[in-house]
Amino acid sequence: MARVVVNVMPKAEILDPQGQAVQRALGRIGVDGVADVRQGKRFELEVDDSVTDADVERMAEILLANTVIEDYVIVREEAK
Amino acid sequence: MARVVVNVMPKAEILDPQGQAVQRALGRIGVDGVADVRQGKRFELEVDDSVTDADVERMAEILLANTVIEDYVIVREEAK
């Protein structure tokens, strides 16, 4: 088995209201110096050797990311 | 400025309905071999040098993760 991580983030030009809400809240806990906050999704998949990079790409395109407003990055981690 | 990533995932023992929904959907797009899917949040913070690891820890504990049901990992990336 291997672990594949798919990170899905809003495209840079897309407004990120969740990230902005977090950034506004930072002031309330007295943390300065944070110029930007962006919030996205992280998927951790446990896959066997039959699952190819093309399979993961297809999963990301169809299920995990809305490619109109989101970008995704696939990271294949160590095989256990 | 540096980028700090905070990955927030459901604790292992916590039911992950979102991850299970994705896993069920995989069958519909003809992908087998995925033993488990877990869905969490990814935060990308652009911070200046005044923001310490302790500050980021505090942010994660108070704002970014619900530490009763979620774990978080902080990854400090290259300074730009």
Instruction: Catalogue all structural domains in chain A, each as residue range(s) with its CATH number.
Output: 2-79 (3.30.1280.10)
Conformation bin of residue B19: beta by default, left when phi > 0, alpha when psi is -120 to 50:
alpha
Question: What pLDDT score does A55 carry?
Answer: 93
Question: Tokens 């959907």 appear where?
Answer: B25
Question: What pLDDT score does B62 carry?
Answer: 94
**A interface mutation test: which of B14, B37, B75 has the most A CBs within 10 A?**
B37
A52-75 average pLDDT score? 95
CA distance A59 to B33: 12
Q: What is the mean pLDDT of chain B?
A: 92
DSSP helix/strand/coil, A29? coil
Residues of chain B with pLDDT under 50: none
Question: What pLDDT score does B56 carry?
Answer: 95
- Residue B44 dihedral angles phi and psi, to the nearest 5°: -115, 115
A37-41 average pLDDT score? 96
Q: What is the mean pLDDT of chain A?
A: 92
Angle value at C-alpha A52, between A46 and A58, nearest 5 degrees: 90
With CA atoms as reference, report the closest residue to A38 among B64, B68, B26, B38: B64
Question: What pLDDT score does B5 carry?
Answer: 97
Contact between chains at A43 and B22 (C-beta distance less than 8 A): yes
Nearest residue in chain B measured CA to CA from A34: B47
Question: What pLDDT score does A79 carry?
Answer: 63
Question: What pLDDT score does B79 carry?
Answer: 63
Contact between chains at B37 and A45 (C-beta distance less than 8 A): yes
CA B63 to chain centre: 13
Contact between chains at B43 and A25 (C-beta distance less than 8 A): no
Question: Is the reported ipTM for this assembly greater than 0.85?
Answer: yes
Contact between chains at A50 and B64 (C-beta distance less than 8 A): no
Question: What pLDDT score does B80 carry?
Answer: 54
**A interface mutation test: which of B39, B62, B72 has the most A CBs within 10 A?**
B39
